[in-house]
Chains A and B, each alone.
Chain A
């Protein structure tokens, strides 16, 4: 069964540094998402992406964040200048398109980001 993959599994960075988290969505999916989960807390939506543009973003997704689909397979999340509070597990998700309805988002295994 196809799965969403993410790299790296763990990223350690210094405060103020830029990080890029990478995701490979399921190949025939059209909608892509980033979520984050601070340790012990709920999963929080960051941004959704469709047709090469952001379709929705949350209040968390400020100017420090950006997303990109640089080629036909990868989907990336960039944090420009990391802060301590950016430390979290970041999940990528994707879903296919079924006309007239909503369907399952498949989550990747996550990247644990630690900001020192």
Chain B
């Protein structure tokens, strides 16, 4: 089955700086890669996703890049703000297999 590795487990950045979180996946058939943000005690919420026919997607301060050959994808957050502090999970799945396989999460801390 699919295995998703996520790094780093904790990331501390100064407010206003950029943050990058990286994930690798094992199943070359995976074709959908969402990123979820989870605040303490809350539900995971989708912040951005990318499909395998696209190399990059951007939504305001958030972007995701996908390298299918290397089987890795990354989340980029620019101009970080205190409200960006949360745990971020990457995930992967493929059509015909519904369940999302999640990475272990990155605790992003924005230092004022």
Q: CB within 8 Å of B: which residues of A?
A: 31, 33, 35, 41-48, 50, 55-56, 58, 91, 101-102, 104-110
Contacts and interface: CB of A to CB of B under 8 A. Distances in A.
B44 A42 contact: no
Interface of B: 31-32, 34, 36, 42-46, 49, 51, 89, 91, 93, 95, 97-105
Given A41-B104, A104-B34, A33 B51 contact: no
A42 B97 CA distance: 19
A55 B98 contact: yes
Chain A at the B interface: SS class? strand
Contact of A48 (B99, B102, B103, B104): B99
Contacts, number: 54
Given A42-B103, A102-B32, A50 B44 contact: no
A25 to B, nearest CB: 13
B45 A107 contact: yes
Nearest to B95: A102
A33 B99 contact: yes
Given A104-B34, A104-B49, A33 B98 contact: yes
Contacts of A42: 89, 102-105
